[in-house]
Amino acid sequence: MNQSRAANIYIHFPFCLQKCGYCDFYSVTGDMDDMTAYLEALELELSGSVFAASPEVEIRSVYIGGGTPSLMPAPLLQKLFVMLRERFTIRNTEITLEANPRPDLNSLLPLMKNLGVNRLSLGIQSLSGKELAFLGRDHTVEDAIRAVQSARSAGFENLGADLIFGLPGQSLKTWERTLDGILDLPLTHISAYALTWHTHSPLGRALVRGEIKPLSDDRTADQFLLAHKRLEKKGFEHYEVSNFARPGFRCRHNEDCWTGVSYRGYGPSAHSWDGLRRFWNVANVREYNSRLMNGHSAVAGEETISPARRRLEKLALGLRRKEGIPLNAVETARDFSEWGEMGLIRIHKGHLVLTACGLLLADELTLHLAE
């Protein structure tokens, strides 16, 4: 199908049991009444979508993130999928749901599978109890392992896990133990992110107060390179700076977002891209509900992306991917020999591709190319 008629959907479910120390995404606590009110507002937003009831638009992916979507009680989860299928043409669609690997997930797994979820993303983050406590996670190492095993038993073949490295005091050995434990599990996708010190997150505020000493950039880089080496050795393709997949199990939703396919976000704080504009919803669930229930738009702002800005974004996103960027996307007279000698790039099939060491400097190299 023509890319202009392809689209992706993101649903932001804003509720969590508690705020994790590193998290900067919009989330709040809430009970059944709060979740029901949110879903009623979401239904109104979905009904006004330009993609709704348009069979010519291919919905390539639905990504349900948060927040903690696996907190949704069964009746609300069922209602959400009825709402989606009534309004969108969903066939051969990748449907991802983010889940917290707590024991209460197990009872929902058969329902998720029956509703059409075909990709489960588990927020495991670490296989060290000490690190999980530091991050503010409310599951144990044993919970995480059982969640993967239960999901596989429930019939999920496409199973992903999120990990975080670069934690204060985290040694190469403890990170290696987490990687080894993860590789023992039947996973098809692994996302590994360096800890980001967001200003408004609990850990970010503790850093500003001087209560935490961050891991050095050099040690964090060593952990990144270790993940690259260990995961690729075990058959995972390092297809984007933070993402690894078994052959055939790349995340379609993310791939489309990185390559410019349009996506529409629904729910408080959700962002959208239509090929020319980027726009975003109000980041407050009560205001989100109020706006929609009173017949108003949930959109809080928008920006039109200039050709120069779009070129920079395409360079940045392309360099982060395994395929790199076409050489004709940059100045043909540019000499890349120095970067090659430094082990930062290679030229492959007419593309400039960053090595693992180059990926550590992706932002800096992007700016050099854009000059």
What per-residue confidence (pLDDT) applies to 4?
A: 44
Same structural domain for residues 75 and 149? yes
Contacts of 163 by beta carbon, 8 Å cutoff, 6+ apart: 124, 125, 126, 178, 179, 182, 190, 191, 192, 193, 227
The answer to whether position 263 is within a domain reads no
Distances (CA, A) of 1 to 27, 90, 176, 265: 36, 14, 42, 21
Same structural domain for residues 252 and 148? yes
Spatial CA neighbour of 195 closest among 163, 222, 173: 163
pLDDT tens readout for residues 187-223: 999 999 999 999 889 999 999 999 999 999 999 999 9
Same structural domain for residues 188 and 330? no
Same structural domain for residues 82 and 188? yes
The answer to whether position 68 is within a domain reads yes
* Enclosing domain of residue 325: 307-370
What's the rounded mean pLDDT across residues 140-147? 98
Confidence band, pLDDT 50/70/90 cuts, at residue 186: very high
Same structural domain for residues 240 and 162? yes
Q: Please check the confidence at residue 226 and state whether its pLDDT lies above 80.
A: yes
Last residue of a domain, one of 258, 278, 297: 258
What per-residue confidence (pLDDT) applies to 369?
A: 87
Same structural domain for residues 139 and 218? yes
Same structural domain for residues 315 and 249? no
Same structural domain for residues 148 and 249? yes
Same structural domain for residues 315 and 187? no
Contacts of 29 by beta carbon, 8 Å cutoff, 6+ apart: 15, 16, 17, 18
Q: Which residue has the higher pLDDT, 246 or 50?
A: 246
Last residue of a domain, one of 258, 283, 316: 258
Confidence band, pLDDT 50/70/90 cuts, at residue 134: very high
The answer to whether position 141 is within a domain reads yes
The answer to whether position 178 is within a domain reads yes
Last residue of a domain, one of 258, 290, 321: 258
What's the rounded mean pLDDT across residues 138-148? 97
What per-residue confidence (pLDDT) applies to 83?
A: 96
Please provide the size of the chain in residues: 371
Same structural domain for residues 349 and 234? no
Domain count, the chain: 2
The answer to whether position 296 is within a domain reads no
The answer to whether position 276 is within a domain reads no
Whichever domain contains 38, its CATH number is 3.80.30.20
pLDDT tens readout for residues 304-349: 999 999 999 999 999 999 999 999 888 655 678 899 999 999 999 9
Structure tokens at 186: 């039947």
Q: Distance (Å, rounded) from C-alpha 331 to C-alpha 52?
A: 42
The answer to whether position 43 is within a domain reads yes
Same structural domain for residues 179 and 311? no
Computed over every residue of the chain, the mean pLDDT equals 94
Same structural domain for residues 197 and 318? no
pLDDT tens readout for residues 77-123: 999 999 999 999 899 999 999 999 999 999 999 999 999 999 999 99
The answer to whether position 225 is within a domain reads yes
